[in-house]
Chain A
């Protein structure tokens, strides 16, 4: 009888952010659907009420079904029978419950039988599901693929594929191959256009494909013979009903064991081109990837929530030296910092989700009518923010969730090392988040542009002038000081004008920006609700010290020092 939405009022706080008014207005467009669909909202309050009530369903399913199944799913895992994937029993139960509740096409338009929800409540559902079972969220969360079909496929394809996803069919995105992991330009899977029937056929191997045996797959393949880079790649939809792909193996992973990671063999598999040829990687995969990275942010936050709760419960219950261990400074200082990182991660998650919501809503609106100049400018502003915040979010929150899992296990002591407590699973599940959908190091490559071109600084300056109650001005002064230090450090590196040197320090710069941004977001949360005061105090103190260390490291470094590190 647990509910993972209602037992965590921080979620409702983030759901009710003031920007939602703008997002709902863009998404519902004068609430025109209310006369066409009996489940469409009547006005803003009604829409918000629907999000809240639907999240209660998600919370209930996660508390009562997904979380209790997590242990057995981890132990059992998926298997291959006749070249097809069979999920663990618990995985299938989880999926059945979410399908019955109609939670598979959450963001899709109603005309494709979706719920037409913004990204924010969808990501919140992912946050909740991840807390219950971070491996399972990979299967459920692949409904992201539908968003890519909705953006780039033609109307006929949308009508054929999207309602299937809304009604519970699962998806997959088939990108990586044995020799094309981080470097997707190296994709080799061959797409051939058969001149006789005018259809495309796929041949080759994909590897590390999450839910590879899903009903509808988006496949990146080389459609332009003789090419060797990203410009020769196109995006295809493969329908599992063709039965032309076999699952050769399921990887034996360290964590997220319920999620089948497949090696796939395509043999003359019929497929449909999505959008235009040659734009597969450079346009469509980038969009898909940004959505997926936001999803990993949610996964990381859900895992952090789970790790924190396990640590807190254990520390309150476990007695040593005659008292609960939470009473010891060495333990409560860990818990305080864990909570601060959790709150910082979550506020960055929903801030980024809102940016994505605004610009995507404009984008869909532009399919129906021409946007005004102000609207176009607004869309671009939010799109840029989303582009810089998404890698920052993915990088920072995935690292934090690993730190939280580590500290939570540490608080459990010897018991945490045993299979007896959920923390060992959370610890293993967390590990992948800094790796897939682009490693932390690759997130830095994306986010560093926002550092060098000043975009992140501009946003920080906007945060700086937002109204605050007088008692929060002291914390703001600290953040202003951190910003000056950050600016100085960035300028110092920019003046050296050496890309390798910049790359060498890039992660430090991105993290400095991250600490300041999350500090501001927490401060603004505290302005709205005092419950975040403690985390804000802790996080800004922590961030200031972390930034000082980075600034110090960089300022005492010279370009010649790279030699100490360089491989011979």
Chain B
């Protein structure tokens, strides 16, 4: 029996290639100046899911993303790499969500999807760097959570075995599933898009996209069920509006300031293997290298 895997993925502004116009005068992120990309660690998560699918016949990988209409790109990017389908959670009611409201909306959607064995997400998104959504989803669904996963070693007989990357080493843990796993950037990079899957799924569209785009291909491909990306609004998912969007978000942004780093602190490292390894791990963990 295959595994039913949900991958949580987010479309984020590409903060890794920040140019001069990345910030507006008021200190907020100028989203128009930054390309919208698949959150890097969510790609690591997707790869772990696809590896399980390769390994356990009959497994399925389904993406779940919340965002504006254009976040359907995330589902398509997943399909191009081997995912079986996806859901776009999109509604004005979700706008302004902090991590709490986001994890609430996602967990409601997951309840609606209902049948799943594993939920895999990236450790954190590069726009917020909170690493809260994955663990919060686990709490809301009452599931075990395994964070900082670097490799999912096996998922057999109701038990999942995972290698975790921690500050000072690795740890292998076991957990029953269903469970939520958040994957570290040090995990294997995601596979490239497949040429055939890209050509198969490039016309996949959500209902909103079908309505706003006058593409001939929509008429030609309307009867191909796999080209319909499921799109859920607030009315498609059972929710309590007080936990949604701005209302459901206790986090309030007081001010935003541009931080200029200054080299005040210094550390002396020797050329020993352990110091070098420690530095590399530190640089990976604080995003300087490795994704």
**Complex-state Cα separation, A444 to B17, whole angstroms:** 49
Question: Size class of B's contact patch?
Answer: 10 to 19
B202 on the A face (CB < 8 A): yes
With A42-B217, A53-B202 known as contacts, the answer to whether A102 contacts B196 (CB < 8 A) is yes
Q: Could you give, for residues 189-203 of chain B, a 1 whenever the CB lies within 8 Å of some chain A CB and a 0 otherwise?
A: 001111111111010
Which residues of chain A come closer than 8 Å to B17, judged between CB atoms? 1
Which residues of chain B come closer than 8 Å to A46, judged between CB atoms? 217
Q: Are B199 and A101 in contact (CB under 8 A)?
A: no
A61 on the B face (CB < 8 A): yes
Q: Residue on A with the closest CB to B221?
A: A42
Q: Which of B191, B221, B226 contacts A100 (CB 8 A)?
A: B191
Which residues of chain A come closer than 8 Å to B220, judged between CB atoms? 42
Q: Are B224 and A38 in contact (CB under 8 A)?
A: yes
B16 on the A face (CB < 8 A): yes
Residues 10 to 60 of chain A near chain B (Cβ within 8 Å)? 38-42, 46, 49-50, 53-54, 57, 60
**Complex-state Cα separation, A97 to B191, whole angstroms:** 7
Which residues of chain A come closer than 8 Å to B200, judged between CB atoms? 38-39
**Complex-state Cα separation, A40 to B203, whole angstroms:** 12
**Complex-state Cα separation, A103 to B197, whole angstroms:** 12
Q: Are A101 and B202 in contact (CB under 8 A)?
A: no
Q: Are A53 and B194 in contact (CB under 8 A)?
A: no
**Complex-state Cα separation, A1 to B43, whole angstroms:** 14
A115 on the B face (CB < 8 A): yes
Q: Are B16 and A102 in contact (CB under 8 A)?
A: no
Q: Residue on A with the closest CB to B226?
A: A38
**Complex-state Cα separation, A41 to B197, whole angstroms:** 13
**Complex-state Cα separation, A50 to B224, whole angstroms:** 18
Which residues of chain B come closer than 8 Å to A101, judged between CB atoms? 191-195
Q: Are B16 and A1 in contact (CB under 8 A)?
A: yes
Which residues of chain A come closer than 8 Å to B192, judged between CB atoms? 57, 60-61, 97, 100-101
User: Separation in Å of the B266 CB from the closest CB of chain A?
Assistant: 29
User: Separation in Å of the A80 CB from the closest CB of chain B?
Assistant: 29
Q: Residue on A with the closest CB to B220?
A: A42
**B-side interface mostly:** helix
Which residues of chain B come closer than 8 Å to A60, judged between CB atoms? 192-193
**Complex-state Cα separation, A1 to B196, whole angstroms:** 22
Q: Are B195 and A103 in contact (CB under 8 A)?
A: yes
Which residues of chain B come closer than 8 Å to A61, judged between CB atoms? 192
**Complex-state Cα separation, A232 to B131, whole angstroms:** 71
Q: Residue on A with the closest CB to B35?
A: A1
Q: Residue on A with the closest CB to B37?
A: A1
User: Separation in Å of the B188 CB from the closest CB of chain A?
Assistant: 11
Q: Residue on A with the closest CB to B217?
A: A42
Interface centre among A1, A38, A57, A103 (most CB of B within 10 A): A38
**Complex-state Cα separation, A97 to B193, whole angstroms:** 9
User: Separation in Å of the A518 CB from the closest CB of chain B?
Assistant: 32
**Complex-state Cα separation, A103 to B191, whole angstroms:** 13
Residues 219 to 273 of chain B near chain A (Cβ within 8 Å)? 220-221, 224, 226
Q: Are A41 and B217 in contact (CB under 8 A)?
A: no
Q: Could you give, for residues 513-525 of chain A, a 1 whenever the CB lies within 8 Å of some chain B CB and a 0 otherwise?
A: 0000000000000
Residues 194 to 217 of chain B near chain A (Cβ within 8 Å)? 194-200, 202, 217
Which residues of chain A come closer than 8 Å to B199, judged between CB atoms? 39-41, 50, 53-54, 115
Which residues of chain A come closer than 8 Å to B221, judged between CB atoms? 42
Q: Are B193 and A57 in contact (CB under 8 A)?
A: yes
Which residues of chain B come closer than 8 Å to A115, judged between CB atoms? 195-196, 199
Which residues of chain B come closer than 8 Å to A102, judged between CB atoms? 194-197
User: Separation in Å of the A126 CB from the closest CB of chain B?
Assistant: 15
With A1-B16, A101-B192 known as contacts, the answer to whether A54 contacts B198 (CB < 8 A) is yes
Which residues of chain A come closer than 8 Å to B193, judged between CB atoms? 57, 60, 101
**Complex-state Cα separation, A474 to B17, whole angstroms:** 45
Q: Are A54 and B224 in contact (CB under 8 A)?
A: no
Q: Residue on B with the closest CB to A57?
A: B193
User: Separation in Å of the A260 CB from the closest CB of chain B?
Assistant: 24
**Complex-state Cα separation, A317 to B266, whole angstroms:** 31
User: Separation in Å of the A326 CB from the closest CB of chain B?
Assistant: 24
**Complex-state Cα separation, A295 to B226, whole angstroms:** 37
Q: Are A53 and B198 in contact (CB under 8 A)?
A: yes
User: Separation in Å of the B13 CB from the closest CB of chain A?
Assistant: 14
With A1-B16, A42-B221 known as contacts, the answer to whether A54 contacts B202 (CB < 8 A) is no
Q: Could you give, for residues 327-362 of chain A, a 1 whenever the CB lies within 8 Å of some chain B CB and a 0 otherwise?
A: 000000000000000000000000000000000000
Seen from chain B, the residues whose Cβ lies within 8 Å of a Cβ on chain A are: 16-17, 191-200, 202, 217, 220-221, 224, 226
Q: Could you list 12 A-B pairs, sorted by A, with CB under 8 Å?
A: A1-B16, A1-B17, A39-B197, A39-B200, A50-B198, A54-B198, A57-B193, A97-B192, A100-B191, A102-B195, A103-B195, A115-B195
Closest 5 CB pairs of A and B: A39-B199, A101-B192, A102-B195, A38-B200, A39-B200
